Amino acid sequence: MIELKNIVKVYPNGTVALDKVNLKINKGDFIYIVGESGAGKTTLLRILHLDEYPTRGEMFAFGKRVDKRTKPYLWRRKVQLAYQDFMLIEDRTVFENITLPLQVKGENYSMLVQRAETVLASLGLRDKMHKLVRELSGGEKQRVSLGRAVISEPEILLLDEPLGNLDMETATVIMNFIDAINERGITVVMSTHHMVKRETSPKRIIKLKNGRIIAKGYV
């Protein structure tokens, strides 16, 4: 589905964020990306989302090479990222934020309402639909960001620390939602410091340190 070959990312200040990363992401995978702060987890997700491009190396996906000629707006119909810092529009409602990917595709209003209600109910936020984002707690914003990423039903869902600063009850709600998404066949790649112990099928785990993959396995 996606293959990274010898991906290197060096920032203008000389920081090496990723160093010769090789990774295959198969359809239906659930992959945890773990590592200390600064290990390269967010950079890897941003490259997979085409927010950034590698300095060196190659990426292939859906049978084609992916590079700066790949149109991001078309790519993001298949690959969506829920950002760690939410990236929400604070003076717009939850409904307006969560349906943005569908608005860009030109979906009609009744479809927007139906999909928003379904996703928000799954995340325990149905009653927040018409609230302004700035009125929400950090945990609620985290769930809205996740909902926006999944509402268009992408083939690949990228999650950057979706459990950060959440209490165990809320983290469990989110993990139930993510597991359900994965069980429907959507590929999940999730960076995290905190893995919630669950009785689910084995998931791949990739450990990064100083931009390098130092371990692979299952959890």
Based on the fold, state whether residues 160 and 74 are members of the same structural domain: yes
* Burial group, residue 127, by CB count within 10 angstroms (0-12, 13-18, 19+): exposed
Q: Are residues 111 and 133 in the same domain?
A: yes
The Cβ of residue 110 has, within 10 Å, a number of other Cβ atoms equal to: 8
Are 138 and 172 contained in the same domain?
A: no
pTM as predicted? 0.92
Statement to judge: residues 1 and 74 lie in one domain:
yes
* pLDDT of 63: 87
Considering the domain architecture, whether residues 136 and 167 belong to the same structural domain is answered as no
- Helix H or strand E segment including 23: strand 16-25
| pLDDT tens for each residue of the chain, 219 residues long | 899 999 999 999 999 999 999 999 999 999 999 999 999 999 999 999 999 999 999 999 998 999 999 999 999 999 999 998 899 999 999 999 999 999 988 899 999 999 999 999 999 999 999 999 999 998 899 999 999 999 999 999 999 999 877 888 888 888 999 999 999 999 999 998 766 666 667 799 999 999 999 999 887
Structural domain range at position 166: 1-78+155-219
- State the total domains in the chain: 2
Question: How many CA atoms does the CB half-sphere of 119 hold within 13 Å?
Answer: 26
Looking at the fold, whether 160 and 144 belong to one and the same domain comes out as: no
**Same domain as 169, residue 74:** yes
For 20: left if phi > 0, alpha if psi spans -120 to 50, otherwise beta; the answer is left
Tell me the angle at which helices 138-150 and 168-183 cross, rounded to the nearest 10 degrees: 0
